[in-house]
Structure 1
Amino acid sequence: MVALTTERPQGDARAAFELASADDSIGEEASAAPLYEAAMRLGLEPSLRRQASIQLASTLRNLGRADEGLALLHAERLQASDDLDDALAVFESLLLADLGREREGLSRALGAMAGHLPRYRRSVTNYAKALLTTAVGFSDDDLFLFARDGAPELPDTTDRGHITHDGARIWYASHGTGPAVVLLHGGLGHAGNWGYQVPALLAAGYRTVAIDSRGHGRSTRDDRPYSYELMAGDVLAVLDHLSIDRAAFVGWSDGACIALVLADMAPERATGVMFFACNVDDTGTLPFVGTPVIDRCFSRHGKDYAALSATPDDFGPFVEAVGAMQRSQPNYGAADLATLSRPFTIVQAEFEEFIRPEHARYLTATIPSAKLVTLPGVSHFAPLQRPATFNAAVLEFLKAQN
């Protein structure tokens, strides 16, 4: 092999890769690793780069450097998909197991296997996602898994369906018993985006009510423009249908706007509001800057809309209609905020893409009985990125309400 590689130009990436592979095959991982790294640094051709990444990650695992191998494959799976996707997932699962993240590793392996099991693809995919709801240390910071698979499905319940209210059919799902927690999703999403939160809340003894906002998910709408007031009215109608007098509201992005309106228009129905990643006026938002994470979330929203909506071909008009609401609402001034009587927990992510951090501080200073919580290491999509971090904040908020 050395003789053959000498026929290639000095500093040739392919030669370094072949030498690394040869050393790897005879158990010389210590010499193989730097050769793989050199091959990739020298500009290995795309058709071999993913192969080199997988082999280097495996080599690093054998050298006791599983964390480095996992980081390498994590970056690699964000690249273009190819016929080595499943191999990459299998080696990721081994590295995760070595790092004590067995459930996450098993989930990766099952997810790769599902595509080869047409009869059982859906059930195996769901099992893979369900494992993540209790996986220690699980993260999906880049939303790769969310874009590919969506959030874990909500648990089964017989207490789900539609109510008819104010020109729309509103879908809800109620789980468990105990103090009620209403989960209000973000714009363009749906109740299923809380798939990592519902099991954690049920385990802690709460009753959850997840609602598809008007025009989102399985809920319909009429011809009126979207408004947070209309959506808040829908939430109250669901609570009336379920005979729930009071609840804690956990709102994410647009869902936080709905929770704000609920606490204003019907404070007697709210034990408190967790207000995550939202503004109350047009000074609270950052200039929009697209990112791959935002693109992946948007892509998943489009797929879910097509799968769930009564108007599956209208995602474009839906996006524009929701955007028109977001650009013009809400409009709460300082005097309005000062009248809010329910406890608020204002939650801001460390890497929030849409809401100014000073806006969160302003809300905390202006709303009576408000406190500020900052979530480290996550962005606007924290409930999906690091569920354990977000769930801990939710449970701390609920503890204070009860």
Structure 2
Amino acid sequence: MSFFFHDQQEYYYADFGQGDPVVLLHGLGNTGRAWLQQVPALLAAGYRVIVPDLAGHGASAGLQAPMSPAMQAKAIIRLLEHLGLDCADIVGLSLGGMVALELTIAAPEVVNRLVVAGTFYRLDTPNDRGMLDDWCQALAQPHGCLKRFEATWPLLVGERFMDTAQGLAAYQAWHAQAAKDNHSNHLHWCAGLRGYNVEAELASIRRPTLVTYADQDRISPRRISRQIAAMIPNSECVGIANDGHVFNVSASDEFNRTLVGFLGTTHAAGSPLTSFSV
């Protein structure tokens, strides 16, 4: 069965292959299918790939109360327990990156290596609160999830990807998902993100860490990823040029090379071998 329970909440996950486990955590408003381009690349490299739908997303149960990254991190710990895994490589994009950071801070023993992409280390500044207010206002409208998706798609993938065959296919799939999403789930997440701040804890992270970003990301600008990397000892920071927020989709080849390359040149007890920046 591809379901597990945590805190009376049912979660869906997909589990592929054999080998060292890698857990992929998606962003707000997405599902595990956002990692479609990464699963084959990781399987080809010999990894087991585990892809949950976060609470209130995809095939996981809806939310009845606010959900925070720290709360969701506990569910990922439960997923590992459910699968009988002592630890795994944890990869998170955007919201998934926040969950991954909280997980690594709270339970470093279950994290082998950490990869965060286009994420945040705090959302408690006045500008952040304004962004969350804007999201909530958009989501509260009729068909709010769909309208927000349509407005943000160019920011998510970048212009060079939008009109390609792959870009049009991704748009259609994600558009259909947004059309049936329950806006209350997203609003509960937005409520749970208020006050999020792990800045003081980043220096405690000792797992091999890759921080990666797209240099045209206007949702999580590259300066944020560079700040995260500067605060995590011995982390790598890799930028991908000319792409937007969900660059694992719109620049999947570059993203996969970066991800698989990092996992192939690091180990749990050591430090990354190489450092990059864009």
TM-score range, shorter chain: 0.7 to 0.9
Supply the distance in 1 between the matched residues of 2:178 and 2:130 (Cα, whole angstroms).
26
Report if aligned partners of 1:279, 1:285 keep a CA contact under 8 Å in 2. no
Bigger relative CO (Cα 8 Å, ≥ 6 apart)? 2
| 1:210 to partner: Cα distance | 0.3
SS of the equivalent of 2:198 reads coil
Matches within 5 A, 1:2-401: 161-282=2-123, 292-294=153-155, 300-301=173-174, 303-304=176-177, 312=180, 315-326=182-193, 328-333=194-199, 335-401=200-266
User: Which residue does the alignment assign to 1:38?
Assistant: none
- Which TM-score applies when normalising by structure 1? 0.54
Compared with structure 1, are the counterparts of its residues 394 and 264 closer, same or farther at alpha carbon in structure 2 (3 Å cutoff)?
same
Mapped partners of 1:176, 1:401: distance in 2: 21
Q: Distance in 2 between matches of 1:195 and 1:359?
A: 26
The amino acid across from 1:293 in the alignment is P
Give distance in 2, aligned partners of 1:401 and 1:329. 33
Amino acid at match of 1:331: N
Deviations 1:187-211 (A, max 9, x none): 1111111111101110110000000
CA distance in 2, matches of 1:318, 1:179: 32
Q: Is the 8 A contact 2:64 2:188 kept in 1?
A: no
CA distance in 1, matches of 2:217, 2:234: 23
User: Does the CA contact (< 8 Å) of 1:167 and 1:221 recur in 2?
Assistant: no
**What secondary structure is seen at the aligned counterpart in 2 of 1:255?**
helix
2:10 & 2:183 partners in 1: Cα distance? 21
Distance (Å, rounded) in 1 between the aligned partners of 2:174 and 2:251: 19
1:347 deviation in Å? 0.6
Contact 1:351 / 1:379 at 8 angstroms: preserved in 2? Answer: yes
Distance 1:286 1:165, change over 3 A: closer
CA RMSD of aligned residues (A): 2.6
SS at match of 2:2: strand
Q: CA offsets, 1:212-248, max 9 Å, x none?
A: 0011110014522111122111111111111111111
Matched with 1:119 is: none
Which SS does the other structure have where 1:251 is aligned?
A: strand
- 1:362 deviation in Å? 1.6
Q: Unaligned stretches of 5+ in structure 2?
A: 135-150, 157-161, 163-169, 268-278
CA distance in 2: counterparts of 1:215 and 1:292, whole angstroms: 20
CA distance in 2, matches of 1:299, 1:319: 20
Structure 2: which amino acid aligns with 1:318?
N
The answer as to whether partners of 2:23 and 2:88 remain within 8 angstroms in 1 is yes
How far has the Cα of 1:322 moved from its partner? Answer: 2.4
Structure 1, residues 241-285: CA drift from partner, whole Å, max 9, x if none?
A: 111111111101000001001101110110111110011113596
Higher Cα radius of gyration: 1
Give the aligned residue type for 2:122.
Answer: D
Return the alpha-carbon distance in structure 1 between the equivalents of residues 201 and 3 of structure 2: 33
Q: Is residue 63–residue 185 contact of structure 2 (8 Å, CA) maintained in 1? A: no
In 1: Cα distance, 2:88 partner to 2:129 partner: 31
Are the counterparts in 2 of residues 351 and 378 from structure 1 also a CA contact under 8 Å? yes
Gaps in structure 1 of 5+ consecutive residues: 1-159, 307-311
Aligned partners of 2:72, 2:28: CA distance in 1, in Å?
12
Deviations 1:20-48 (A, max 9, x none): xxxxxxxxxxxxxxxxxxxxxxxxxxxxx
Change (3 A) 1:294 1:356: closer
Partner deviation per Cα, 1:93-145 (whole Å, 9 max, x = no partner): xxxxxxxxxxxxxxxxxxxxxxxxxxxxxxxxxxxxxxxxxxxxxxxxxxxxx
Distance 1:161 1:347, change over 3 A: same
Which whole-Å CA distance do the structure 1 matches of 2:155 and 2:244 have between them? 10
- Cα distance, 1:325 vs. partner? 2.9
Amino acid at match of 1:323: C
